[in-house]
Amino acid sequence: MSSERPVISCKNIWKVFGTDPEGYLAKLPPDMTFDDMREDGYIAGVKDVSLDVNKGEMLVIMGLSGSGKSTLVRCFSRLHEITSGTIEIEGQDIMSLAEKDLIDLRRSKMGMVFQSFGLLPHRSVLDNVAFPLEMRGQDKHTRRERALEVIKLVGLEGREDFFPRELSGGQQQRVGIARSLAIEPDIWFLDEPFSALDPLIRKEMQDEFLRLQQLLNKTIVFITHDFDEALRLADRIAIMKDGAIEQCDTPDKIVLKPATEYVRKFTEDVDKARVVRAGGLAEVGQTGIGDPVDASQTVRKMARMLVDDTRDFIPVTRAGKPIGALSRAEALDVLLGDQ
């Protein structure tokens, strides 16, 4: 991950829904619960969240329905006005922006994809993808060239003249992704973009999404309620409950060291050997002998080697450089389920 200034930085964000949220929050006791607030006629959509998102990172925010994940992301783009706290995009306080500057920021920096594809039914694939460029005032030739470029990128070349009704659900979702990419956003917000798709198409879209991220290296905030999807896509996962973040960490640490009982319940049925990677088990400063394993290798893929090996510590490398060594005994515990 980059050591640069975070692309998104929020501090102590609250988004309270009710008749007088600012006044209510000002006198809120520190031990007030989500249910207590609801009895008073208020809902904490986001509750005292502090979070950074780094350049090129894919942060997945997950939780059950009503946990606050969509509300939080709408706060990031100021589609919701927060009740309290601060939000900075690349060091700029977005709460201080005038409406015109905020719109310019969204148009120039942010791409958004939602579960409901939101395609214009009377427009072709090409015209749907070019639409945000049209709103920018770009000339027809320029926006057509850019639209064709991203249509090819998402694998829809040859379907430029199709209408949404002529496409499958997965193809429609690709159009939505292409449209958001057309403006070349630095920050990409995706709110459960695959949840309406059939399981097989959803898996294909996840594969496509990972391919795109390798090519484009966007800063991404991805919302899902599907823990398997989160584990597959995320650099880090933030698990939300009642508007608050229960834990924000790498997939390895989420499944190996859940911070709360709520997080533990999310992870209890996960096959940890398919999630935990060598890099997540590597102990910095520890050394090993013999051939190293790559940090990206899962414990499941290392299974045969772990069973046959006799080393206590196995060196781990990332991009060919040593980062530490993993304990074979610890890796075997993960493999055999002896947590």
HEC per residue, 163-210: CHHHCCHHHHHHHHHHHHHHCCCCEEEEECCCCCCCHHHHHHHHHHHH
C-alpha separations of 3 from 57, 185, 278 in Å: 11, 21, 22
Long-range contacts of 86-89 (CB under 8 A, 24+ apart): 86/10, 86/11, 86/12, 86/13, 87/8, 87/9, 87/10, 87/11, 87/13, 88/6, 88/8, 88/9, 88/10, 89/7, 89/8, 89/187
Which residues are paired to 294 by β-bridges?
Answer: 317
**278 lies in some domain:** yes
Number of domains in the chain: 1
CATH number at residue 277: 3.10.580.10
**179 lies in some domain:** no
pLDDT at 176: 87
**287 lies in some domain:** yes
C-alpha span between 104 and 183 (Å, rounded): 12
Contact partners, residue 72, CB within 8 Å, separation at least 6: 13, 15, 45, 46, 49, 61, 240
**286 lies in some domain:** yes
Global pTM value? 0.86
**328 lies in some domain:** yes
**5 lies in some domain:** no
C-alpha span between 240 and 248 (Å, rounded): 9
Structure tokens at 4: 């640069």
**291 lies in some domain:** yes
Instruction: Give me the amino acid identity at 318.
Output: R
Domain carrying residue 279: 273-336
**Residue pair 195/115 in contact by the 8 Å Cβ criterion:** yes
Provide the b/e sequence for 183-198 (b: ≥16 CB within 10 Å): bebbbbbbbbbbeebe
Tens place of pLDDT per residue across the chain (339 aa): 445 789 999 999 999 999 999 999 999 998 888 889 999 999 999 999 999 999 999 999 999 888 999 999 999 999 999 999 999 999 999 999 999 999 889 888 898 887 666 789 999 999 999 998 888 888 999 999 999 998 988 889 999 999 999 998 888 888 988 888 888 889 999 988 887 777 887 888 888 888 888 888 889 999 998 888 998 899 999 999 999 999 999 999 999 999 999 999 888 888 999 999 999 999 999 998 999 999 999 999 999 999 999 999 999 999 899 999 999 999 999 999 754
**292 lies in some domain:** yes
C-alpha span between 256 and 240 (Å, rounded): 18
C-alpha separations of 173 from 136, 180, 196, 317 in Å: 22, 11, 10, 37
